[in-house]
Structure 1
Amino acid sequence: MEFGEVVRKRRMVRDYDPDRPVPAAVVDRLLGHAIHAPSAGFSQGWGFLVLDEPADRDAFWAATTPEGWAPSGWLDGMRRAPLLVVPHSNQSAYLDRYAEPDKGWTDRDPGRWPVPYWHIDTGMAALLMLLTAVDEGLGACFFGIPGERVDGYRKAFGVPAEFTPIGAVTIGYRAPDRLSPSLKRGRRSVDQVVHRGRWS
């Protein structure tokens, strides 16, 4: 598939065919592309938890679904995904890297960073997975783990303290899912979001 077509076809998919697992070779390509994301100082401070066994996926949903959450078409469709990948960022890897001699900082002060590049770079790795899914004929959706459920998620999967889940990605073969009502807003045009020379 041409790259432009991959970009145009990318959208968040919220319902999957539960009877079609993602082939192992495709999972390897998804992760192989993810680690080609840019990272500040080539820190590569990320880690990916792959959940492709039914018991592991059930444990993920049990740990991350808020108490009292009523069944819904959105959640039911997402739970049918045969593959979940949880990208994690590692702030320490960045602070350590930028305290090395070639970077010129002598401490690990996170205040030096204008934005948390450890999260940004991991988000770019997640985007590469989303684009790879389209190229492989799959659907995918990036979504957040509710803040109050992160500790339960960490405990369920033994996630080390230095790794922070920035969200999760469902991946699988698309079912005929409903379009999000948000799409009625329409995509903003380039002219509406691009400013040349000056913002105003």
Structure 2
Amino acid sequence: MVRDYDPDRPVPPEVRERLLAHAIRAPSAGFSQGWAFLVLESPEERDRFWAATAGDGAPDRWLSRMRRAPLLIVPLSHKAAYLDRYAEPDKGWSDRDERRWPVPYWDIDTGMAALLMLLTAVDEGLGACFFGIPPDRTAGFREEFGVPAEYRPIGCISVGYEGKDDRRSPSLRRGRRSVADVVHRGHWQV
């Protein structure tokens, strides 16, 4: 995850379109495709995003570097698309009862679309970072950009060319867990 961007190098339009084209190739339960993407590129749009989501006061070092990203994409999940799709005759349910869903696939599938954008950014030689929108700022974000209530922002992806002041997360010092630590073959073993 890149946390600093070169503010003088915009993301080329054809690359932005590849990011979005790859996102819609993500898997979705029942091919529901319950996602939408808010693209913010102009300085004014990005400033409005940061004002709505970051709060008042001077930005800290993290936010100062993140604000340099020339492209922000907000993936939004749409639960109703899944509930409607699974109430169709070929799925066998006649209602929209969300208790049937063991996990919120609308969020998971939108997260997979976000991951495809992150991977595409790497393939294109760009940096990117997925980060959350604080829950207490979601209403302000929705209002600022006219996002309908039935769409939930699952986070935001900043995209751009890596800046000179990128600082990797101190969490990386923990190291990556090994395959042996996380893979269980045939039976759960500790």
Q: 2:12 aligns with which of 23, 27, 31?
A: 23
Q: 2:3 aligns with which of 3, 10, 14?
A: 14
Is 1:72 the counterpart of 2:60 in the alignment? yes
Q: Which residue of 1 aligns with 2:148?
A: 160
Q: Which residue of 2 aligns with 1:199?
A: 188
Letter in 2 for 1:179: R
Q: Which residue of 2 aligns with 1:169?
A: 157
Stretches (4+) displaced over 3 A? none
Q: Which residue of 1 aligns with 2:129?
A: 141
SS of 2:148's equivalent? coil
Gaps in structure 2 of 5+ consecutive residues? none
Task: Work out the percentage of aligned pairs sharing the same amino acid.
Answer: 73
Q: Which residue of 1 aligns with 2:115?
A: 127
Q: 1:91 aligns with which of 79, 83, 88?
A: 79
1:157-183: per-residue Cα shift (whole Å, max 9, x none)? 000111000000000000131111010
Q: C-alpha distance in 1, partners of 2:123/2:11?
A: 13
Q: C-alpha distance in 2, partners of 1:142/1:74?
A: 13
Deviation at 1:154, TM superposition (A): 0.1
1:81-114: per-residue Cα shift (whole Å, max 9, x none)? 0000000000000000000000000100010000
> What TM-score comes out, normalization by structure 1 length?
0.92
Q: Which residue of 1 aligns with 2:174?
A: 185
Q: C-alpha distance in 2, partners of 1:105/1:66?
A: 43
Gaps in structure 1 of 5+ consecutive residues? 1-11
Q: C-alpha distance in 1, partners of 2:73/2:145?
A: 13
Asked if the contact 1:66/1:146 (under 8 Å) is kept, the reply is no
Q: Which residue of 2 aligns with 1:111?
A: 99
1:141-196: per-residue Cα shift (whole Å, max 9, x none)? 00000000000000000001110000000000001311110100101110010111
Worse-matched range after superposition: 141-150 or 178-187: 178-187
Q: C-alpha distance in 1, partners of 2:9/2:56?
A: 30
Q: 1:37 aligns with which of 26, 37, 49?
A: 26
Q: C-alpha distance in 1, partners of 2:67/2:173?
A: 25
SS of 1:32's equivalent? helix
Q: Which residue of 2 aligns with 1:7?
A: none
SS of 2:74's equivalent? strand
> What TM-score comes out, normalization by structure 2 length?
0.97
